[in-house]
Amino acid sequence: MSFDKQHNYISPQNNNLETFSLIWLETSLNEKKKYIDIQQRLRASINCLKIFQDSDECENYIRSISKDNRIILIINDQSGEELLVVPRIHQLRQVFSIYIYCTCEERNQQWTKTFPKVKNVGTQFDTFVNEIESNQMRSIRNKVDEPFQINIFKMNSCQDLSTTGLNGQFVYSHLLIDCLLRMESNPNDKKELIDVCKKYYDGNVSQLNILNEFEHNYSPDNAIWWYTRESFLFRLLNKALRVQNIDLLFLFRFFILDIRQQLVQYQCLSSMHIYRGQLMSNEELQILKNSIGQLVSMNSFLSASTNRDVALFYLSDFIPTDDLQKVLLDIDADPLLVDNIPFANIMPHSYFPSEEEVLIMLGSIFRLIDIYYDENQVYNVRLTLCSNNDSSVQTIIENIREESEKNNKGMTNLLSFGSVLRTMGKFCEAKRYYHRLLNELSYDHEYIADCYYGLGKVANEQGDYDSGLRWHHESLETKIRTLGPNDPRLVDSYLNMGGIYSRKNEYKLALESCNKAFNIIKQIFGENHPSIGECFNNIGVVYEIEKKYTEALKYHQKALVIFEKCFSTNHRTLGFSHNNIGDVYRNLDQYDLALDHYNLSIEIFRRIYPSGHSYIAESLSSIGLIYEKKGELKQALSYFEEAITMDSDTVLPTHPRIIFLKNSIERILKQINE
């Protein structure tokens, strides 16, 4: 499906949009047609079905799947060779259950006793199908093994390196949800979502029937009923929230808003004590143990029970393993303290009205009070629901939100959505939504210039400087035509063009752009405005490229003085400023001073950006250069490799920094091996 043919897309054919997938290992090609009806029936419960005829290929595919996904493996044993894959993949987190169809039932039941994920060994496929269908229905209801995305916000993260990236992920997950909820939906969203689902579930008669029912019968006042039903909505939305599938979440806005409205309508009026059973890895549990007293957020709707015994019952089928533990979330929720976080007893409105279920709005924030291990081999995690408005993270979120909405009168729309995605480092997604907006706007719309500006910023971040310059020129010309030549809204375009000219080594044009910005701002706001600091910063970059390091340092330090007066200590502009000063000190061979500023830069970026953001990668690559100059090659290699891992997920392969990092790693490895 595509929002438009050129720029926006969701590719259901190439991606599993659900959490669960079925893998069928069938080495005999002659037997393949026998099981078509069974496979069709299985797709009613799990849409994604992959069939393999080679054991090694099957194993490699299973290993390539994220541990946050869940695989049900069916092995049709013909020769015995297929079963060799079981001990090799059994311990993988993504492997949820295994079913073995064989002729030697008794023999295989003996050796599989040591592999608890092998749920059934037998000769009756109907038994397998019934069990898989039953287990899938139960998993929808008890949710204990549903992948669980937890984000942590630590107030002392700058002193605790174990929290690397946690705060940024927390902030931007919260900001993304906030932006989606503040954007208005439109009737076409539902139609687009249905079109996506029809293509994804092509050939799946069961889900297409439900989809047809949804298309004709859905109304906002039964959103919770639809969410709790075992259907495509629950499957797709939960995974989209967990993996931040931006395109799907955009289309799900109307549904998320309808659920929120129902939660507000049926909001609990008194304090509640609720429980949620959950399986967690030791790694996830250790992160929580290290976060007592800190803030915790969850990317999804949180389903819990008013009955502790019910929550524990759902855990009873599972035995703790070396890597997987039983966890009981013990939550205090007081509506008087969290008036902006709706939660409701949804029993009268659920598809399963007999269950004592409470649903808490997605994006909720909790305080982690305590964790203890009880006599039933269950970790009890005590949480208190917090007000988002009172949380320590709110200041950071407000600063970023203000920046993303500054060009559109405080409104949250496609323009601000693109800005949020760009700031998150999701450059490809941001580009798609800017283009989507362009396709919707008239030629003379007031947002056209800002849309061009956003595309220019994206191109610049991706290292496509020619395209970036072209978009910024378009933006500047549009602004001059509509606002006049001296409007302060031209300054950002001049500054960004100046930065690109610097990267293209066109120093004269870079300084001209900076001077134009400087004159506009100085005339209107005086010499202590943040944009004056940006001008000094750009001039410093030009001097640095020209190897005039003393002059460069002077301008970067002048910029830092202004920024420290204008911004809070968590503002990203201070991170950029420290990084620039670090660059100058590095070129002056003053490595300790350079490291001090690079580390300050990284501390700021890690507080406010997700762990793999390209701004962090830039500072890491610079630190790598310092260690290389100091002859500490293994340290240098470590920083270069960490930086390129981050950049590979966010910028184009042709980005100058990717090329630089590849060359640097090759150079360091050659030196180490000599």
Between residues 523 and 4, the one the model is more confident about: 523
Q: In what order do the strands lie in the sheet with 357-360?
A: 150-153, 295-298, 365-373, 378-386, 324-333, 272-281, 302-305, 357-360, 343-345
Token digits of residue 294: 């800190």
Q: What are phi and psi of 504, to 5 degrees?
A: -90, 5
In this prediction, residue 277 carries a pLDDT of: 92
Between residues 136 and 103, the one the model is more confident about: 136
Evaluate whether 133 touches 45 at the Cβ level (below 8 Å).
Answer: yes
In this prediction, residue 234 carries a pLDDT of: 92
Residue 202: is its pLDDT beyond 70? yes
Handedness of CA 35, 36, 41, 43 (dihedral sign): positive
Between residues 319 and 637, the one the model is more confident about: 637
Longest Cα–Cα distance in the chain: 88
SS (H, E, C) 228-274: HCCCHHHHHHHHHHHHCCHHHHHHCHHHHHHHHHHHHHCCCCCCEEE
CA distance 357 to 304: 6
Residue type at position 60: N
With H, G, I as helix, E, B as strand and everything else as coil, classify residue 426: coil
Give which of 433, 414, 420 is closest to 7, Cα–Cα. 433
CA distance 341 to 358: 13
Evaluate whether 357 touches 344 at the Cβ level (below 8 Å).
Answer: no
Residue 264: is its pLDDT beyond 90? yes
Q: Tokens 């009955």 identify what position? A: 307
| Cα 431 to Cα 113, 422, 461, 603, distances in angstroms | 52, 8, 11, 28
Residue 267: is its pLDDT beyond 90? yes
- Percent of the chain scoring above 70 in pLDDT: 90
* pLDDT tens string 403-452: 666 655 556 789 989 999 998 889 999 999 999 999 999 888 989 999 99
Between residues 346 and 1, the one the model is more confident about: 346
Evaluate whether 451 touches 471 at the Cβ level (below 8 Å).
Answer: no
Q: How confident is the model at residue 127 (pLDDT cuts 50, 70, 90)?
A: confident
Count the Cβ atoms, other than its own, within 10 Å of residue 298.
21
Q: Tokens 């049926």 identify what position? A: 266
Token digits of residue 517: 């910005």
> What would the mean pLDDT of 355-368 be, rounded to a whole number?
91
Return the H-helix or E-strand segment holding 95.
strand 95-101
- Percent of the chain scoring above 90 in pLDDT: 55
* pLDDT tens string 99-122: 988 877 777 777 888 888 888 888
- The CA radius of gyration of the chain, in Å to the nearest whole number, is 27
In this prediction, residue 33 carries a pLDDT of: 63
Token digits of residue 54: 């080679």
In this prediction, residue 348 carries a pLDDT of: 92
Tell the burial category of 569 from Cβ atoms under 10 Å away from its Cβ (0-12, 13-18, 19+).
exposed
SS (H, E, C) 502-527: HHCCCHHHHHHHHHHHHHHHHHHHCC
Between residues 658 and 594, the one the model is more confident about: 594
Domain covering 409-485 in this structure, CATH number: 1.25.40.10
Q: In what order do the strands lie in the sheet with 20-26?
A: 49-52, 20-26, 70-76, 95-101, 118-122
Residue 93 gets which letter from DSSP? T
In the chain, ranges of CATH 1.25.40.10 domains: 409-485
* pLDDT tens string 79-93: 566 678 899 999 898
In the chain, ranges of CATH 3.40.50.2300 domains: 20-142
CA distance 357 to 389: 26
Evaluate whether 619 touches 598 at the Cβ level (below 8 Å).
Answer: yes
Count the Cβ atoms, other than its own, within 10 Å of residue 34.
12
Q: How confident is the model at residue 4 (pLDDT cuts 50, 70, 90)?
A: very low
> What would the mean pLDDT of 487-500 be, rounded to a whole number?
94
Q: Please give the full DSSP string across 482-500, using - where no structure is assigned.
A: HH-TT-GGGHHHHHHHHHH
Lowest-confidence pick of 19-33, 255-269, 401-415, 424-438: 401-415
In this prediction, residue 649 carries a pLDDT of: 74
In this prediction, residue 405 carries a pLDDT of: 63
3-state helix, strand, coil in the chain (%, to 5): 60, 15, 30
In this prediction, residue 103 carries a pLDDT of: 73
* Architecture field, domain 150-397: Alpha-Beta Complex (3.90)
In the chain, ranges of CATH 3.90.176.10 domains: 150-397
Evaluate whether 382 touches 288 at the Cβ level (below 8 Å).
Answer: no
In this prediction, residue 162 carries a pLDDT of: 32
Tell the burial category of 443 from Cβ atoms under 10 Å away from its Cβ (0-12, 13-18, 19+).
exposed
CATH of 20-142, one of 3.40.30.10, 3.30.300.130, 3.40.50.2300, 3.60.70.12: 3.40.50.2300
Beta bridge partners of residue 70, listed in sequence order: 20
- In angstroms, the first-to-last Cα distance of the chain is 52
CA distance 254 to 250: 9
CA distance 674 to 317: 56
Between residues 570 and 237, the one the model is more confident about: 237
In this prediction, residue 572 carries a pLDDT of: 87
Residue 324: is its pLDDT beyond 60? yes
Token digits of residue 13: 């054919």
